[in-house]
Every structure is written in C-alpha cells, then in structure tokens.
Amino acid sequence: MFNLFNKNTPEKPQDVKAIREALLVFIKQELQKMEGGEGKNIKGFQLYICCLPAEQFMYDSALFSAEQDRFKNEIQRIADDFAIDLPESWTMETLYVDGLPESAIKMTNLDAAFYIKTPEHAAIQKLETGYIKILAGEAEQEVYTIKSADGRINMGRGKQAQDKDGFFRNNDIAFPDESTNECNKYISRQHAHIEWNNEADAFMLFADDGGVPPRNKVKIRSKADHNPVKLTFTELGFVLHEGDQIILGESAVLEFSYNQ
C-alpha cells in the first residue's frame, strides 16, 4: 500500500489520486519552510514533470488540467495556511520536460521537481535563437526568428486581439484576418504562445485561452514520437525540440527548429 509519509522506502504513486496527493504534500513541505515569511518577492512556482508519454494523462488528471486554476488555487490555500503573503500576480506553471533541471527541488517518489521563481531568476541567462517555419496556413512571414530575450511570443489570428477584460495583445506570429487560406479558419485570436524557460534551457509552448477545448486546440508532434500531444490546459508547458511540429486549430502547421 502506498504510504505517502514513509520517507525510508518511498514508493511511486500508481494512480491519479495518489499522484495528486504526493505532489500537494511535497509542495506543502516546501512551502512550510517559508511559514509566516514574506512572499511578495516570489514571482511564482514551476512544477516540472518528467514522465513517459503513456503516463501523461494521469498527471493531467492529477493537476485538474480540465479546470482552469484549480491546482493553483490548491497551492494558494496552502500558502494561506502558512501565512505566506504571495503577490496577486503570482503564477503557477506545469512543464513536461525530458529531464529535471538541477536548480529545482526534486521529489523522491516521483519524477517531478518544484521551483520557486524570484525576480533575480527572471533575467535571461542564456541567449538562444529558434525558428518557426509555416508549413501549412498563411502567416505574415514564412519563417520567424525567435530569441530567448523576446519574452512571450504570441501566436494567433490577426495582428491584435482583445481579451475578455478589454486589454489588447499583439500577435508576434500573426495569421491575417483577410486570408482565404482554409488552414487559417480555425485559428483563434489568442491561440498559443512560446516562451524561453531558463530552468528547462529550452523554448516552451503554451496554449492560450483560445487554443484549449472546447474553443479550439493546440497539438504538438515530435520527430522522435509520432503520437501527437494535445495541450488541454493553459498552464501546462511543453519543451520544444528540433523538428517538432505544432498544429493550431484544425490544420495550420508550424515547424520549430534551432537551426535555420
């Protein structure tokens, strides 16, 4: 039987409920070290998961991937219990990676790690360049050059998009409204974005509100594993590898590369 508190012989959780409990207890133990402390210098948290593709659905379920911010709210409750005064703008990201970063706190009974983001970690530590090539669909450019210093690189239909709160965002990789290309038809105005991640040492792909079901979809397929992965939650990031293909909507296809 799985014993979450047996530190001498930790067993790997085998089901969704046990995985969720293990993750929350682990995060609780780390946050407890900050009990009653100042939390306003914390930008947010990153949860790294290194699992087999066949196991990913269990982690998606454990993290309430179908319910926006539910897992984040669980962590907020833990922080409140320990009187950790987090800023209103703190973020929670879950990243699926091939290897756990050395700078993160690793779990003993799961291939997962927890990272606390502070302002000094926000600076770009490495200058890296990537390329996005449009394989299907019509964008403003055929090839886009992206850099680790660019911050958030938005993708969507139209150059500008207005969110539900009335604010505008610019799409750096834009698919023109006036295009008659059929592949552009199902691209949302706020579909997805790419962002450099220092700890993962890689560009990461995230779905935005317009790119998750039931509105629309984002899929990714690697050269190594031809089984496509669907992004179903805006806080779940995926490491981009050489030759990965990204599908926006039904049939707009982008290819990522570190080599032009």
pLDDT in tens, 174-231: 999 899 999 999 999 999 999 998 878 889 999 988 888 776 788 888 877 777 888 8
Q: Look at residue 222 in the predicted model and tell me its pLDDT.
A: 82
Domain ranges across the chain: 16-121, 129-257
Across 17-167, the runs of DSSP E, i.e. the strands, are: 44-49, 91-96, 105-106, 112-117, 129-136, 143-147, 153-157, 160-162
Residue that is written with structure tokens 């450019």 in the block = 141
* Res. 120 pLDDT band, cuts 50 70 90: low
- Choose which CATH entry (3.40.50.12140, 3.40.50.1240, 3.40.190.10, 2.60.200.20) describes domain 129-257: 2.60.200.20
% of the chain with per-residue pLDDT over 90:
44
Residue that is written with structure tokens 């669980």 in the block = 74
Cβ atoms < 10 Å from Cβ of 196 = 23
> Which strand ranges, in their side-by-side order, compose the sheet holding 236-239?
105-106, 112-117, 44-49, 91-96, 236-239, 202-207, 192-197, 153-157, 173-175
Q: Look at residue 10 in the predicted model and tell me its pLDDT.
A: 61
Is residue 21 within 8 Å of 78, Cβ to Cβ?
A: no
The pTM of this model reads 0.61
Q: How far is it, in rounded angstroms, from Cα 46 to Cα 225? A: 25
User: Of 106 and 39, which is predicted with more confidence?
Assistant: 106
Instruction: State the chain's mean pLDDT as an integer.
Output: 86
Q: Taking the C-alpha atoms of 83, 89, 90 and 95 in order, what is their torsion angle to the nearest 10 degrees? A: 160
Is the pLDDT at 81 greater than 60? The verdict is: yes
The sign one gets for the Cα dihedral 177, 251, 60, 242 is negative
Is the pLDDT at 4 greater than 70? The verdict is: no
Alpha-carbon distances, residue 168 vs 61, 90, 139, 159, 164 (angstroms): 32, 21, 20, 10, 10
> SS3 of 42, please?
coil
Is the pLDDT at 165 greater than 80? The verdict is: no
Q: Look at residue 126 in the predicted model and tell me its pLDDT.
A: 67
Is the pLDDT at 3 greater than 50? The verdict is: no
* Res. 2 pLDDT band, cuts 50 70 90: very low
Burial zone of 160 (CB within 10 Å; 0-12 exposed, 13-18 middle, 19+ buried) = exposed
The stretch 32-57 carries a mean pLDDT of 85
Q: Look at residue 215 in the predicted model and tell me its pLDDT.
A: 66
